[in-house]
Amino acid sequence: MSESAAEFREEVAEAAKRVLMALSHGRRTAWELKLELKVSHTVLHLALGALLERGKISLQPDHLTYVVEPVGVAPQSPVATA
């Protein structure tokens, strides 16, 4: 049985949230995100498109993939341990 359109939209929305969480630890390539999040190519790229449209990420071509960076978020500094 195939999933409904509503379920698919929810899957893409959830992937978009997970992308933003992953990017909170630094920029990633689209390939790294696909492997880290274990999502299909289609779901990942629809999530990236939605985030790009909302101005949440930027994409820069990098050889055969894209570098994905959050927009408007200061880079995280490593936490010093005493």
Q: Residues 2-39: pLDDT tens digits? A: 679 999 999 999 999 999 999 999 999 999 999 999 99
The mean pLDDT of the chain is 89
Contact criterion met (CB below 8 Å) for 32 and 62: no
Return all residues near 3 (Cβ < 8 A) that are at least 6 apart: 11
Helix, strand, coil shares of the chain, percent, nearest 5, are 50, 15, 35
What's the pLDDT at 75?
Answer: 53
Q: Tens of pLDDT along 36-63?
A: 999 999 999 999 999 999 999 999 999 9
CATH topology of domain 5-70: Arc Repressor Mutant, subunit A (1.10.10)
The residue ranges of every structural domain in the chain are 5-70
Hey, what are 60's tokens? 């820069």
